Amino acid sequence: MDLQEVLNDIRTEVLDAGLKGSLPDYIPELANIDPEKFGMHLQTLDGRSFSFGDSQEKFSIQSISKVFTLVKAFQYKGSILWDRVGVEPSGDPFNSLQQLEFESGIPRNPLINAGALLTADILVSELKNPKLDFLEFVRSLAGSREVYYNEKVAYSELSCSHRNAAMVNLMKSFGNIQNDVNLVLDFYCHACSIEMSCTELAKAFLVFSNHGKLPHDQQQILSVSDTKRINSIMHACGFYDEVGMFSYRVGLPGKSGVGGGIVAIHPSDYSVAVWAPELNGKGNSVKGMMALELLTTKTGYSIF
């Protein structure tokens, strides 16, 4: 099958569908993005790549960074991490506070805001220069030094991070946050502000297709079974309260962000990133979901 042709067809069909969504205006800097942007990059483990559109343009990865903070926190803590955060789908919006109160400050999973604020707290404790060291980690996954924080986006979010501040405070009241609330928020908003292109994201996620080994330098950063766990968490929790629908339509583990990006992986085969800024009501890219649904439908190939 000619995968470039598949991608070209996906582009045409998605654009023809005329899907509409909205931009995340609760982060002022993200409301100014051109809603028409649309790019996709598929990277295979055997070194082939296919793309279209704005696949090389950097965008705000937002909640996709939650996978990176999870992996780094898991590297430090191993399975005792699960004393402080769960691995169950939340069934609630990504920024919901309700469960956190009922469940005594233990977030449902590391891929909703509360859970990523928790892994941020761990990294603020463990890393010597948290923001710098974390950025280096993401660069090492992407195999590129051209990965940066967007300070404007980070401070734009920090200036109106009232719900996230409420979550950190609530977790701290239950004894589940060790650091100063503002330090945790600052780290979290910076992680969300990282900018990467579809090409860079697909390369950075290839490690999860490759059972924990970085394809570009053969370094094993996670064991085979821990990589299985990260992929399982993505599959069960990567799309907030739309995780069932994403699985139903696409059938791959993945992660989305309110910057309009989605990354998904096929174990042993490929990773794929798509970017289209307009979001549905659950905070997932409308065109991105359709593009990935078409990919697994046209190829007849998902994890199922």
Tally the residues of the chain.
Answer: 304
Site residues for ligand GLN, 27-56, by CB under 6 A, read none
Task: Report the C-alpha gap between 57 and 132 in whole angstroms.
Answer: 23
Is the Cβ of residue 117 or residue 214 nearer to ligand GLN in the bound state? 117
Q: Over the Cα atoms of the chain, what is R_g?
A: 18
**Lookup: tokens for 21:** 């969504």
Is the Cβ of residue 42 or residue 117 nearer to ligand GLN in the bound state? 117
According to CB under 6 A, which one of 14, 192, 221, 289 is a site residue for ligand GLN? Answer: 192
Give, in degrees to the nearest 5, the angle at Cα 69 between 277 and 271.
55
Total chain residues near ligand GLN (CB under 6 A): 11
Query: Nearest CA to 239 among 261, 224, 255?
Result: 255
Is residue 147 a contact point for ligand GLN (CB under 6 A)?
A: no
According to CB under 6 A, which one of 54, 121, 157, 242 is a site residue for ligand GLN? Answer: 157
According to CB under 6 A, which one of 75, 95, 99, 280 is a site residue for ligand GLN? Answer: 95
Site residues for ligand GLN, 52-81, by CB under 6 A, read 62-63
Task: Report the C-alpha gap between 208 and 233 in whole angstroms.
Answer: 12
Given the structure tokens 């710098």, which residue do they identify?
132
Helix (H/G/I), strand (E/B), else coil: 155? helix
Is residue 113 a contact point for ligand GLN (CB under 6 A)?
A: yes
Is residue 253 a contact point for ligand GLN (CB under 6 A)?
A: no
Residues that bind ligand GLN (CB under 6 A): 62-63, 94-95, 113, 157, 164, 192, 257-258, 283
